[in-house]
Structure 1
Amino acid sequence: MPVVDRGRVAAALPGYGIGGELGSGAFGLVLAGYHQELDRPVAVKVLTSPDPGAAVDFRTEARLLSRLDHPHIVRTYDCVVRGDLCLLVMELLSGGTLAHRALRPEAACAVGLAVADALTHAHAHGVLHRDIKPANILFTRDGQPKLTDFGISKVFEGSASTASRVVGTPRYMAPEQITGQRLGPATDLYALGVVLYELFTGTRLAPPELPLPVLLRHHTEVVPPPPPGVPAPLGALLLRCLAKRPEDRPAGARMFAFELARAATSVFGRHWLDRAGLPVHLGADVRALTTRRLPRLPRPQDRSALPAA
């Protein structure tokens, strides 16, 4: 990542104060900011590139984000391009990332429902995320989870799209993403399945010491075993998300949300979502599944088998 000239950033954003670095990655640097007139803290995503196409890609990202108005997707306030400097002004999420949170099992399911609802909204607008991972799931100060960093998302038409390049985080990439095949909503569900597998088991889907080529082959060829210590309804749903073929995964993020809500209720009992302790905004039909009286697992120890990781 090139060194960022904060003076140029400040000059491109009159009316904003520019603070310290909040994070960085392959697709940009994020700085703290403050809109003085509106008395509002913000996050400023910075991208500098000598490639003229970078500005076009960045504007595309901003347009995509501006279309996504959802309580579990980070808000985008503004986009500014000055030569090779591209700035995206976003909602500041001060609660940290999922990568740095330890969650009880009910809370992990609540995050899964929130992300699934966000993906349902994004997919309905023709947007794939393509980089679902704990570092891209952030929290507000009061603990509301939000999906961020659609920087490598891509508009798709119909049910799938052909990716022009392989992008994503290898630890969470779907088989079709690795092999350069056609992508669709099931691609994001695979990554969400990996995230939830890690949350429920406290372990990685693949051994962490694997070299990159072996890790990628693990995603494309190795069928994962049932997640250890996870009650059957949740474990079976995770394995369906991790199916090698997209058509064998749940039929869309909305259907996954229904199945997750139903499975969690069978494990944790009625009103588990209220006990999860996180603000989650869902449709009435999905939330209703968390309050219904469903058959519980016969062994109460199954609930305690889920580690708080």
Structure 2
Amino acid sequence: MVAVDRDRVRAALPGYTIGGQLGTGSSGLVLAGHHRDLDRPVAIKVLSTAATDPAAVDAFRAEAQMLGRLDHPHIVRIHDFVVRDDLCLLVMELLPGGPVGRRRLSPPAACAVGLAVAHALSQAHRFGIAHRDVKPANILFTGSGLPKLTDFGIAKILEGTAGEASRLAGTPRYMAPEQIRRGWLSPATDVYGLGVVLHELLRGESMFPRDLPVSELFRWHLEVEPPPLPAVPPVLGEVVARALAKDPAARHPTGLDLARELAVAAGAAFGPRWLHDCGVTVRVVDDLVEQPPPRADRHLAGPTSLPTPLPTPTPLPLPAPALTP
């Protein structure tokens, strides 16, 4: 990891105070910050390879542009993008609640997180964008308990040219079979990654044996059926199993399809008020979930119809770029 000169970061962002390090990633690190005039806490992603890798700068800029287009309550918001000499800075909202992997969630809460992320992915898929690295470390909470999908750093537009180099991209534990095979990627690729996350959250542990080498992880994704979820209502287990199908054509085609099916299954398993009582804040289209029964002190309008399905982008052969640690 290349060291970051904080004085240069301060000079590039004169309106901000620069705080401590929040984390690191494959391309740089993340610093805490605060916009003085707006009194707004932020996270500042610093690209550490700008001086030696112009392609990384282009990818960083593409990430900023994608995040700017993906306006969704469960996708991290971008505030600014600054390039100064060989320094690239992406200023985003601060998510102080930490990643989902640090929380022990009840089954309804796990389903709520899955619903939020699936709906967020549906927004990306609507723009023809595959995230390609859905994992617990990339699902963080706001201070009020709102889960948000982050780190579109290796996201790929669902179109491409066959002449581009093909490399693996993603985190081995959450990679879909078609990523491993360097095959055609589609929204169903992200559905698989979220399926792994849901399986872990509902099971309370990884769906793989501990300390598997990458080659064995890949074999499990390609050949081994996921462990059963005996403590989970069967209707939910069926949704997760479909998301984890080896064949992408057998999965939910998009995040929106997964969100709808997960909402129906959770309602059947936990009752009509499951989302209101689970302890996780979710802001999605109301008619994706079963409405709670009307209270005696008010009248509710009749049920609304489901939203018109978003078009499914045509999967095209994509180069899959280096593995995230």
| TM-score, length basis structure 1 | 0.90
- Given that 1:72 and 1:144 are in contact with CA atoms closer than 8 Å, whether structure 2 keeps it comes out as yes
SS of residue in 2 equivalent to 1:108:
helix
Which one of 221, 224, 234 corresponds to residue 236 of structure 2? 234
Matches of residues 129-168 of structure 1 in structure 2 within 5 Å? 129-157=131-159, 164-168=166-170
- Once the two structures are TM-superposed, the CA of residue 290 in structure 1 deviates from its matched residue by 5.3
**Which has the larger displacement, 126-135 or 223-232?**
223-232
Q: Which runs of 4+ in 1 moved over 3 A?
A: none
SS of residue in 2 equivalent to 1:72:
coil
Q: Confirm whether residue 215 of structure 1 aligns to residue 191 of structure 2.
A: no
- Once the two structures are TM-superposed, the CA of residue 4 in structure 1 deviates from its matched residue by 0.9
Q: Distance in 1 between matches of 2:249 and 2:65?
A: 30
Gap runs ≥5 in structure 1:
293-309
Deviations 1:133-187 (A, max 9, x none): 11110111110111111111111139xxx98421111111101111111111001
Amino acid at match of 1:85: L
Matches of residues 49-60 of structure 1 in structure 2 within 5 Å? 49=49, 50-60=52-62
Q: Confirm whether residue 117 of structure 1 aligns to residue 148 of structure 2.
A: no
SS of residue in 2 equivalent to 1:44:
strand
CA spacing shift, 1:52–1:254, aligned 2, 3 Å: same
Amino acid at match of 1:199: L
- Once the two structures are TM-superposed, the CA of residue 84 in structure 1 deviates from its matched residue by 2.6
Q: Confirm whether residue 243 of structure 1 aligns to residue 268 of structure 2.
A: no
Query: Which residue is 2:3 aligned to?
Result: 3
CA spacing shift, 1:164–1:85, aligned 2, 3 Å: farther
Q: Distance in 2 between matches of 1:180 and 1:114?
A: 28
- Once the two structures are TM-superposed, the CA of residue 281 in structure 1 deviates from its matched residue by 0.7
Q: Distance in 2 between matches of 1:102 and 1:171?
A: 19
- Once the two structures are TM-superposed, the CA of residue 227 in structure 1 deviates from its matched residue by 2.2
Q: Distance in 2 between matches of 1:27 and 1:240?
A: 33
Query: Which residue is 2:31 aligned to?
Result: 31
SS of residue in 2 equivalent to 1:266:
helix
Q: Distance in 1 between matches of 2:105 and 2:129?
A: 28
Matches of residues 1-309 of structure 1 in structure 2 within 5 Å? 1-49=1-49, 50-157=52-159, 164-287=166-289, 289=290, 291=292
Gap runs ≥5 in structure 2:
294-325
- Once the two structures are TM-superposed, the CA of residue 291 in structure 1 deviates from its matched residue by 3.8
SS of residue in 2 equivalent to 1:188:
helix
- Once the two structures are TM-superposed, the CA of residue 284 in structure 1 deviates from its matched residue by 2.2
- Given that 2:134 and 2:174 are in contact with CA atoms closer than 8 Å, whether structure 1 keeps it comes out as yes
Where relative contact order (Cα < 8 A, 6+ residues apart) is larger, the structure is 2
Deviations 1:268-303 (A, max 9, x none): 11111111122211112202x2548xxxxxxxxxxx
- Given that 2:108 and 2:278 are in contact with CA atoms closer than 8 Å, whether structure 1 keeps it comes out as yes
| TM-score, length basis structure 2 | 0.86
CA RMSD of aligned residues (A): 1.7
Aligned residues: 289
- Once the two structures are TM-superposed, the CA of residue 28 in structure 1 deviates from its matched residue by 2.2
Q: Distance in 2 between matches of 1:260 and 1:5?
A: 45
